[in-house]
Amino acid sequence: MFDYATVSHGLYVGGRWQPSSEGRVIEVVDPSTEAVIAVVPDATLADAAAAVNAASKAAAGWRETSPRRRSEILRRCFELMTERAEILAALISLENGKALRDARSEVAYAAEFFRWNAEEAVRISGEFGLAPSGANRNCVLITPWNFPAAMATRKIAPALAAGCTVILKPASETPLTAYALAALYEEAGVPPGVVNVLTTSTPGPVTAAMLADPRVRKLSFTGSTGVGRVLLAEAAKHVISCSMELGGNAPFIVFDDADLEAALDGAMVAKMRNAGEACTAANRLYVQAGIHDAFADGLRKRMAALNVGAGTHTETECGPMITSKAVNKIDRLVQDAVVRGAKVLCGGAIAEGKGYFYPPTVLRDVSADAAMMHEEIFGPVAPIMRFDSEADAIARANDTEYGLAAYIYTRDLAKGMRVASKIESGMIALNHGLMSDPAAPFGGVKQSGLGREGGQKHGVAEFMEAKYIAVTL
Ligand code: NAD
């Protein structure tokens, strides 16, 4: 078990750990037991102003740090995260609830953003014109609870590679990982003030105050589409550049000619990574008539066999949800689908006892007007629908305001590519259940967001501005 007492719990501002200026705290809860495991400071407007000051003060030094040196520091962050992978995974599992195996994958994924951006940091040139160190923005980064490490490193690593200083506001549900990583960055050589971390229970006013400061020039947000809309409106008041990684409603399409076992393996990853609490999670499974029954039966068997328990137990395959509110939302969506005609193949009701658990659930014959067809389930529930033609599958896949991720299973690659080109989505996985990769541009279209994270050039470019200088010599 991870000893959370060893994690620094202060606000991390200008390289110092400090309490909230008003002494307020936020409780952090273990979602598998509902016990309070730590308290972290609750940042005020004064704390936010101090963080912007610290980031601005550090900006000149960081900007002038050579790309090579920045690269070496980022590489060191990768090495330290990799050395401490087990400790970090245990911490993520404790505060987020996800199964240890998912937490281990997250740490590897999160660390990879440092290695990738260490390699990018020395290759920022060409189309950006002058010196490779041309960016110097103070950036506000806001992250969700579902990947406490990776959503932060996916922003911090490219921002630092580009020469920016940052203020990270992690989700209040999972702040411990963000603070543990802040200590690690310091150890890796990140100078004081370059990365600042603030937890707050009043993110609206605290973020608005930071965006109103003219020294802040970038907002990078990962979270729900609803909050993204609010932040875009706030940023518009000051014409601040925004990157938005928002919600998803991924279709998972299985054609008759798919390899059934491969499709089931892929569905289990696409649906059950992080117990379904992922923006890329398969939210709607469309299966062609000829393979439908075999697929539904295979998925039921696999889902029903999953080991449900505390994420920190090594045998756990499906941990608790993040809060009781999340469990109630999932159940509301399931009951709504059932009322509209869905059949429950396994699961389908809130588990008894302590902890925010929802059992792995498979539904079939889910109606197109069920609420879960239009809202993110964000839990271990797989709704299966039958389709007949390729055109039907494409039309139903696109019948959503979201456009983040989509999955297609077919042995006919020409069909796979044709369907992929017609699906309105920022990312498509073809015969593949997992798409997140620091080397690939991650992001959505429609109401799933603006901009891309990771990938060759895309991730770093989000933190840079083109500058044109006409010179007479
Ligand atoms: P959320 O939008 O409720 O919260 C995200 C973050 O925003 C948290 O840090 C929260 O404290 C903060 N926040 C809330 N209200 C705010 C406000 N008014 N001003 C400033 N900050 C505010 O989302 P969540 O429940 O933490 O995360 C789940 C959501 O995130 C899902 O919709 C999921 O799809 C999405 N997500 C998207 C991606 C992606 O890359 N596209 C990745 C992970 C999660």
Q: How confident is the model at residue 468 (pLDDT cuts 50, 70, 90)?
A: confident
Q: How confident is the model at residue 136 (pLDDT cuts 50, 70, 90)?
A: low
360: pLDDT strictly greater than 70: yes
338: pLDDT strictly greater than 90: yes
188: pLDDT strictly greater than 90: yes
Q: Are residues 214 and 284 in the same domain?
A: no
Per-residue model confidence as pLDDT tens digits over 399-448: 999 999 999 999 999 999 999 999 999 999 999 999 999 989 999 999 99
d(CA 244, CA 191): 27
215: pLDDT strictly greater than 80: yes
134: pLDDT strictly greater than 70: no
Q: Which of 155, 172, 220, 222 to mutate to test the pocket of ligand 1 (most atoms within 8 A of CB)?
A: 222
Q: Are residues 151 and 13 in the same domain?
A: yes
Q: Are residues 341 and 220 in the same domain?
A: no
Protein residues whose CB sits closer than 6 Å to any atom of ligand 1: 142-147, 151, 169, 171-172, 203-204, 207, 222-224, 227, 230-231, 245-248, 279, 376, 404, 444, 449
Number of Cβ atoms within 10 Å of the Cβ of 333: 23
Q: Using an 8 Å Cβ cutoff, are 244 and 221 in contact? A: yes
Ligand 1 centroid–CA 243 distance in Å is 13
**Position 114 in a domain:** yes
Ligand 1 centroid–CA 226 distance in Å is 9
Ligand 1 centroid–CA 326 distance in Å is 13
Q: Residue 269 sits in a domain of what CATH number? A: 3.40.309.10
d(CA 294, CA 311): 31
Q: Are residues 37 and 163 in the same domain?
A: yes
**Position 333 in a domain:** yes
Q: Tell me how far CA of residue 416 lies from CA of 138, 313, 407, 409, 421, in angstroms.
A: 42, 39, 10, 7, 9
Output the residue whose Cα is nearest ligand 1's atom 18.
Answer: 204
**Position 442 in a domain:** no
Output the residue whose Cα is nearest ligand 1's atom 26.
Answer: 144
**Position 44 in a domain:** yes
Output the residue whose Cα is nearest ligand 1's atom 10.
Answer: 171
**Position 197 in a domain:** yes
Output the residue whose Cα is nearest ligand 1's atom 40.
Answer: 245
Q: Are residues 145 and 203 in the same domain?
A: yes
**Which of the residues 77, 139, 279, 346 is marked catalytic?**
279
Instruction: Please give, one letter per residue, the 3-state secondary structure of the chain.
Output: CCCHHHCCCCEEECCEEECCCCCCEEEEECCCCCCEEEEEECCCHHHHHHHHHHHHHHHHHHHHCCHHHHHHHHHHHHHHHHHCHHHHHHHHHHHHCCCHHHHHHHHHHHHHHHHHHHHHHCCCCHHHCCCCCCCCCEEEEECCCCCCCHHHHHHHHHHHHCCCEEEEECCCCCHHHHHHHHHHHHHHCCCCCCEEECCCCCHHHHHHHHHHCCCEEEEEEECCHHHHHHHHHHHHCCCCEEEEECCCCEEEEECCCCCHHHHHHHHHHHHHHHHHCCCCCEEEEEEEHHHHHHHHHHHHHHHHCCCECCCCCCCCCECCCCCHHHHHHHHHHHHHHHHCCCEEEECCCCCCCCCCCCCCEEEECCCCCCHHHCCCCCCCEEEEEEECCHHHHHHHHCCCCCCCEEEEECCCHHHHHHHHHHCCCCEEEECCCCCCCCCCCECCCHHHEECCECCCCHHHHCCCCCCCCCCCC
Per-residue model confidence as pLDDT tens digits over 437-466: 998 999 999 999 999 999 877 889 999 888
303: pLDDT strictly greater than 60: yes
Going edge to edge, which strands form the sheet with 165-169?
Answer: 16-18, 11-13, 195-197, 165-169, 138-142, 216-222, 241-245, 449-450
Is 279 assigned a catalytic role?
yes
Q: Are residues 327 and 409 in the same domain?
A: yes
Q: Report the nearest atom of ligand 1 relative to the CA of 200.
A: 11
Q: Residue 188 sits in a domain of what CATH number? A: 3.40.605.10
> How many domains does the structure of the chain reveal?
2
- What integer is the mean pLDDT of 172-180? 96
Per-residue model confidence as pLDDT tens digits over 26-53: 999 999 999 999 999 999 999 999 999 9
Output the residue whose Cα is nearest ligand 1's atom 35.
Answer: 223
**Domain range for 336:** 250-437
For the chain, what is the mean pLDDT?
94
Instruction: Please give the pLDDT value at position 125.
Output: 62
- What integer is the mean pLDDT of 8-33? 93
Q: Are residues 233 and 289 in the same domain?
A: no
**Position 444 in a domain:** no
**Position 466 in a domain:** no
Output the residue whose Cα is nearest ligand 1's atom 17.
Answer: 204
370: pLDDT strictly greater than 80: yes
Ligand 1 centroid–CA 96 distance in Å is 14
Q: Are residues 344 and 370 in the same domain?
A: yes
Q: Are residues 45 and 188 in the same domain?
A: yes
**Position 443 in a domain:** no
Backbone angle region of 445, left / alpha / beta, with phi > 0 → left and psi within -120 to 50 → alpha: beta
Q: Report the nearest atom of ligand 1 relative to the CA of 404.
A: 41
Q: Are residues 44 and 103 in the same domain?
A: yes
Q: Which residue type sits at 34?
A: E
Q: Are residues 87 and 235 in the same domain?
A: yes
Ligand 1 centroid–CA 443 distance in Å is 14
Q: Are residues 153 and 174 in the same domain?
A: yes
Per-residue model confidence as pLDDT tens digits over 230-260: 999 999 999 999 999 999 999 999 999 999 9
Between 39-53, 119-133, 162-176, 236-250, the lowest mean confidence (pLDDT) is in: 119-133
**Which of the residues 245, 277, 453, 462 is marked catalytic?**
245
Is 22 assigned a catalytic role?
no
320: pLDDT strictly greater than 80: yes
Ligand 1 centroid–CA 221 distance in Å is 7
5: pLDDT strictly greater than 60: no
